[in-house]
């Protein structure tokens, strides 16, 4: 669209230049189909400026319409691209769930996995800590306070508005206060996370050996 408009403007400029120099024998104007030759008589330019004005005026109006059409097309293409990416993401998640032996993205194990992916921390150790701290997700703190990591203040379990928020706070805490400080083994984490229990690290290590979909009976 811009190219065609520029061609029209260039045509007008060439015609004006011809009027000033009196040595131009012809110029070309580009319309929507083919080149249109404008000839002059006796070396003098005799363009129809009134028709040329309306030609350019109408062309600008068409250009605005084309811009609108392009906006609509781009919007539809954006929606299609978002739909494609969503479909691909869902397909990847289904494949991941299958490989992990899980049935739903709403299960706590998958929520923890996604949070670990988001914060770039090892999933196996984080899941093992959550299993230990919640008694395989059966504790009151987990069931009623949405607290999957045993987080507390003054020995009182913290409460969160949802499982998602609780998981995010749990994994973020491990990321910022443990892994970022170089504490990345059950033994190193245990000395700070649960110093009162000398068996904490060994229990976490054993729980790391269980498959993701293992359910404690």
Q: What is the pLDDT of residue 186?
A: 97
Return the structure tokens found at 104.
């739903």
pLDDT 10s digits, 170-197: 999 999 999 999 999 999 999 999 999 9
Complete DSSP assignment for 93-127: HHHHHHHHT---TTSHHHHHHHHHHHHT--HHHHH
What single-letter DSSP state applies at residue 197? -
Q: What is the mean pLDDT of the chain?
A: 79
Q: Which residues contact 142 (CB under 8 A, 6 or more apart)?
A: 134, 148, 166
Long-range contacts of 145-149 (CB under 8 A, 24+ apart): 148/108, 148/112, 149/173, 149/174
Lowest mean pLDDT across 6-15, 66-75, 114-123, 202-211: 6-15
Q: Average pLDDT of 16-35?
A: 45
Lowest mean pLDDT across 4-13, 129-138, 141-150, 168-177: 4-13
Say how many C-beta atoms besides its own lie within 10 A of residue 115's C-beta.
23
Q: What is the pLDDT of residue 23?
A: 42
Rounded-to-integer distance, Cα 69 and Cα 107, Å: 45
Do 56 and 12 touch, CB atoms closer than 8 A? Answer: yes
CA 71 to chain centre: 21
SS3 166: helix
Tally DSSP H helices, then E strands, for the chain: 8, 4
Residue positions counted in the chain: 217
Q: What is the pTM of this model?
A: 0.62
pLDDT 10s digits, 117-139: 999 999 999 999 999 999 999 99
Return left, alpha or beta for 158; rule: phi > 0 is left, psi -120 to 50 is alpha, else beta. beta
Most confident of 29-33, 43-47, 201-205: 201-205
Return the structure tokens found at 15.
């015609």
Give backbone dihedrals phi and psi of 120, rounded to 5 degrees, phi first: 60, 55
């Amino acid at each position: 669209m811009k190219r065609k408009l520029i061609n029209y403007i260039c045509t007008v400029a060439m015609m004006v230049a011809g009027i000033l120099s009196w040595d131009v024998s012809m110029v070309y104007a580009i319309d929507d189909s083919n080149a249109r030759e404008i000839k002059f008589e006796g070396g003098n330019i005799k363009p129809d400026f009134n028709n040329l004005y309306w030609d350019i005026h109408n062309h600008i109006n068409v250009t605005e319409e084309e811009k609108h059409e392009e906006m609509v097309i781009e919007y539809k293409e954006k929606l299609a691209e978002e739909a494609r990416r969503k479909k691909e993401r869902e397909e990847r998640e289904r494949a991941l769930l299958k490989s992990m032996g899980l049935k739903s993205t709403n299960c706590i194990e998958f929520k923890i996995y996604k949070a670990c992916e988001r914060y770039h921390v090892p999933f196996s150790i984080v899941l093992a800590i959550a299993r230990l701290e919640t008694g395989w997700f059966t504790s009151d703190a987990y069931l009623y306070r949405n607290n999957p990591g045993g987080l507390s203040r003054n020995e009182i379990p913290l409460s969160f508005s949802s499982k998602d928020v609780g998981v995010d706070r749990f994994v973020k805490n491990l990321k910022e206060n443990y892994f970022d400080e170089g504490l990345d083994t059950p033994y190193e984490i245990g000395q700070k996370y649960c110093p009162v229990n000398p068996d904490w690290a060994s229990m976490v290590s054993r729980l790391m050996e269980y498959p993701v979909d293992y359910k404690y009976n």
